[in-house]
Amino acid sequence: MDIGAYVDATILGIVEGLTEFIPVSSTGHLLLMDQLLGFRSTGHVFEIVIQLGAILAILLVYFGRLWQLFITLPTSGRSRHFVAGLIIAFLPAAVIGVLAHDFIKRVLFESPMVICIALVVGGILLLIIDKVPRKVRFDDVMKYPLPLCLKIGFFQCLAMIPGTSRSGATIAGALLMGTDKRSAAEFSFFLAIPTMIGATAYDLFKNRHALSTDDLGLIAVGFVMAFISALFVVRTLLDFVSRRGFAVFAWWRIVVGTIGIILLVTVAPAEPVRSEQPVQATDGAGAPVAGPATEGKEGRLPHQR
């Protein structure tokens, strides 16, 4: 057993849970922590699966309201309106996410500089939005107009750039269009349920070749820690933002992103790790001969230090 790997899985699970529902970008923080810890997972399967822990936390906290929605859906126009709003808000990310999935994973997810810049820019914008006086027109998520929900859904698509933050994009978009801070955060919570379940299911399907029962222990640790830390955030965030707003999260983004940019610019990048490939022995003329090959380990979640 690699104790160091389990320590890293614990840290990453806590980071996922603490950052998933606040506007600081859980994906950006996880990818930067991966770089810092030297943690690598094929197709980012580990990072994908532990998001389910955060989803479970929000399902638990909002179980009563979700159940009430379910049982009143056939008879309540209010419930049907809210569910329709969530579906409409979810659709833009579903469509664009499928179309741009490979580019996002292969290009944007592999660029720490993009993540750091997005953290800083998003922090500055969130700070401005939080401080600028606005006229509140919507304060009940159950009554959000459907066009408003669609606009929030398009804002959520900005979070496909790692470092932007799904919750940050949806909350900022909602605030710009006249919602109050508490309902903006609450709508972001509810919208996270279909968005994260859909994204996780699609990512798992795309990376099904990388799944391995050998890594269930690491994933289980990350999942549990993500659940516990996310539970704390979901239970406390609404009251916090109602009193304090989003400035503290904006400044956190700016500080983390700035430190990251400075380190990326001043510290020489490490030589990239070369994946091991099977090596075929040859004779003097270059013809292949029988002999042991060096076997690669593609398809697992390697933990490289």
Summarised one tens digit per residue, pLDDT across range 128-175 is 988 888 889 999 999 999 999 999 999 999 988 888 888 889 999 999
pLDDT for the residue numbered 1: 56
pLDDT for the residue numbered 77: 94
Q: Is residue 275 part of a domain?
A: no
Number of domains in the chain: 1
Domain boundaries, position 138: 3-265
Q: Is residue 134 part of a domain?
A: yes
Q: Is residue 8 part of a domain?
A: yes
CA nearest to 200, candidates 188, 212, 208, 209: 208
> Which stretches of the chain score pLDDT less than 50?
270-279, 284-285, 291-300, 302-305
Q: Is residue 75 part of a domain?
A: yes
Q: Is residue 293 part of a domain?
A: no
Q: Is residue 153 part of a domain?
A: yes
Q: Is residue 297 part of a domain?
A: no
Q: Is residue 39 part of a domain?
A: yes
